Amino acid sequence: MAREVARSGGRRAGKAAEVERAVAARDAERLAELSAEPGGLVSDFLRRRAWPLLLAADADDASAASPKRAKTRDALVQEFNMDIERSMFHFGCDKALPRDLRVLKREALTEIILNVLRADATLHYYQGFHDVATVHLHVMGNDIRAASETTLAASRLQFKDHHGQDFGATIQAMNLLPVIIHHFDHKVSTTLERAEVGPMFALAWVLTGFAHSVQDLNVTARLFDIILASHPLLCIYLAAALVLRPTTRRRLLEVAEEDCSMPTIHHFLQNIAPPCAPMTSRDSWEQRNKKYKAQRKRIAKRQASAGAPVSGSSYVPATRAEEKENCVDNLVESALFMMARFPPADLIRVGERTRNVDLPKLSAMRLPLKTRRAWIASMNWAVHHARWTVSHPAATAAAVAAVAVALALVWTRPSTVGAMAR
pTM of the model: 0.79
Residue 142: predicted pLDDT: 94
Crossing angle of helices 234-243 and 217-229, in 10° steps, is 130
Quote the longest CA-to-CA distance of the chain. 60
Residue 6: predicted pLDDT: 46
Residue 407: predicted pLDDT: 46
| CA 381 – CA 287 distance, rounded (Å) | 33
Task: Return mean pLDDT, the chain.
Answer: 78
Residue 277: predicted pLDDT: 80
Please write the tens of the pLDDT for every residue from 219-254.
999 999 999 999 999 999 999 999 999 999 999 999
Which residues of the chain fall below pLDDT 70?
A: 1-10, 57-72, 279-325, 359-422
Report whether 265 contacts 198 (CB < 8 A). Answer: no
Residue 75: predicted pLDDT: 75
Q: Domains along the chain?
A: 2-162 (1.10.8.1310)
| CA 203 – CA 167 distance, rounded (Å) | 11
| CA 220 – CA 278 distance, rounded (Å) | 13
